[in-house]
Chains A and B, each alone.
Chain A
Amino acid sequence: GAGVSQSPRYKVAKRGQDVALRCDPISGHVSLFWYQQALGQGPEFLTYFQNEAQLDKSGLPSDRFFAERPEGSVSTLKIQRTQQEDSAVYLCASSQKETQYFGPGTRLLVL
């Protein structure tokens, strides 16, 4: 069966540019999570959806970060006016019960 997919896999942005990262969860999974993973670190929680409701966005580092999941399936993480410190891998995960299944991630490099 299809797993979690993310696009693009790689993104190079100039500082100040807006970017949009897409996540397609496993079909039927209610919960969707976004994480940021810096080089050599574990994933850090950004935000969480249950269906279309964003139940927690406490991990978003600034108001330049925005996430949505309007129809309860596909989710988009948007970063406005990107900064160099935003360079990281952005991971999406979905779950039905306890276990989260991750996508391959989007590697964002801000120059």
Chain B
Amino acid sequence: AQKITQTQPGMFVQEKEAVTLDCTYDTSDPSYGLFWYKQPSSGEMIFLIYQGSYDQQNATEGRYSLNFQKARKSANLVISASQLGDSAMYFCAMRPPPSSGGSYIPTFGRGTSLIVHP
């Protein structure tokens, strides 16, 4: 069974500073994908970044980067130059790729609430 753990219920960061949101995972599948989503107070889940388990390089998307450490089973999200609009819930999630032949049921963590203050 897959499991995602986000140990930080809440994080505070000052505007323009970088922040790291932690995510650890557990799975017996050899092939999997890791995702981060942002959920502002409006409720919509916004896709941020994806990392495949066989990708050699850490994923980056603009100000977002994923610090993927496979041996430690961690997939931390790094947000550089925080903005006030980054204040939201952030969810780490895992699912196997559709072609893996394994279970396709995605698993989400409980989320981390990020507050960016001026």
* Contact A97/B98 with A33-B106, A42-B111, A102-B37 known, Cβ cut-off 8 Å: yes
What are 20 A-B contacts defined by CB distance under 8 Å? A40-B110, A41-B111, A42-B91, A42-B93, A43-B108, A44-B108, A48-B104, A48-B105, A56-B105, A58-B105, A97-B97, A97-B98, A98-B33, A98-B50, A98-B52, A99-B35, A100-B106, A104-B43, A105-B45, A107-B43
Beta-carbon contacts under 8 Å, B39-69 to A: 42-47, 50, 52
Report if A45 contacts B (CB, 8 A): yes
A92 to chain B, nearest CB (A): 10
Which B residues form the contact surface with A (CB < 8 A)? 4, 33, 35, 37, 42-47, 50, 52, 91, 93, 95, 97-98, 104-111
Residue of B nearest to A31 (CB): B98
Please count how many residues in chain A sit with their CB below 8 Å of the partner chain's CB atoms.
26
* Contact A99/B44 with A42-B91, A48-B105 known, Cβ cut-off 8 Å: no
Residues of A within 8 A of B45 (CB): 43, 91, 93, 102, 105
Residues of B within 8 A of A65 (CB): none
| Among B35, B106, B110: residue with most chain A CB under 10 A | B106
Determine whether the beta carbon of A103 is less than 8 Å from that of B44.
Answer: yes
A59 to chain B, nearest CB (A): 7
Closest 6 CB pairs of A and B: A42-B108, A102-B45, A104-B44, A105-B43, A98-B33, A43-B108
Determine whether the beta carbon of B109 is less than 8 Å from that of A42.
Answer: yes
Report if A66 contacts B (CB, 8 A): no
Determine whether the beta carbon of A99 is less than 8 Å from that of B109.
Answer: no
